[in-house]
Amino acid sequence: SEQVDFAGPYFYATMVVLTKADSPYAGAESILDFEGAAGTAQISTIWYTECLPQMTGADVKSASADAPAMLMALETGVVDFVVTDLPTAQGAVIAYPDMKILDFSGTDGDFQFSDQERAENVNIGISVMKDNAFLKAAIDAVLETMTVADFNSLMEDAISIQPLSAE
């Protein structure tokens, strides 16, 4: 936010845990059910800095450089789970059908964020050149006409055509 402004948000992200379907953790019902499990997330993300520390007893490993490296760590057994957002996880299970998404949203076992953390790091906006008030206002005007269902539908379309989902 120091170099760009953000229009939106255009997506309200859900943080999830991704594990292997045959993992002993695949039946977890809370972020607190990963005691002793090795986990990671992508470096410089809320997944690593805010979510993993909430998983009491988990063995937090070094952050992955990017999403593909994070997914490869899970796929190859370097870690038992990763924390990511739902769209990234949905794309991952297309590429890696042996992975399972654990979504604890709406339960007491979910990740907790302050309103400020949610606004700054969880809800996803569109980057706009710093101080370009005209462009930011134009984008915001369009986004204000859309619903959460519209945003979710667009994200589902994007996931279906992203490179990992290509046959």
Q: What CATH code is carried by the domain that includes residue 88? A: 3.40.190.10
Give the residue from 73, 84, 94, 79 showing the smallest Cα distance to 161. 94
For residue 150, give its domain range.
Answer: 1-167
Q: How far is CA 8 from CA 14, 106, 112, 120, 162, in A?
A: 16, 23, 22, 11, 22
Instruction: Give the pLDDT confidence score for residue 125 in this predicted structure.
Output: 74
Instruction: Give the pLDDT confidence score for residue 103 in this predicted structure.
Output: 95
Contacts of 1 (CB under 8 A, 6+ apart): 120
Instruction: Give the pLDDT confidence score for residue 91 in this predicted structure.
Output: 87
Instruction: Give the pLDDT confidence score for residue 163 in this predicted structure.
Output: 65
Instruction: Give the pLDDT confidence score for residue 138 in this predicted structure.
Output: 92
Number of domains in the chain: 1
133 vs 129: CA distance, rounded Å:
9
Say if residues 48 and 121 touch (Cβ distance below 8 Å).
no
pLDDT tens series, the chain, 167 aa: 578 777 777 666 789 999 999 999 999 999 999 999 999 999 988 899 999 999 999 999 999 999 999 999 999 999 999 999 988 898 899 889 999 999 998 899 998 877 666 656 556 677 888 899 999 899 889 988 888 888 778 877 877 776 654 44
Decide: helix, strand or coil at residue 91: helix
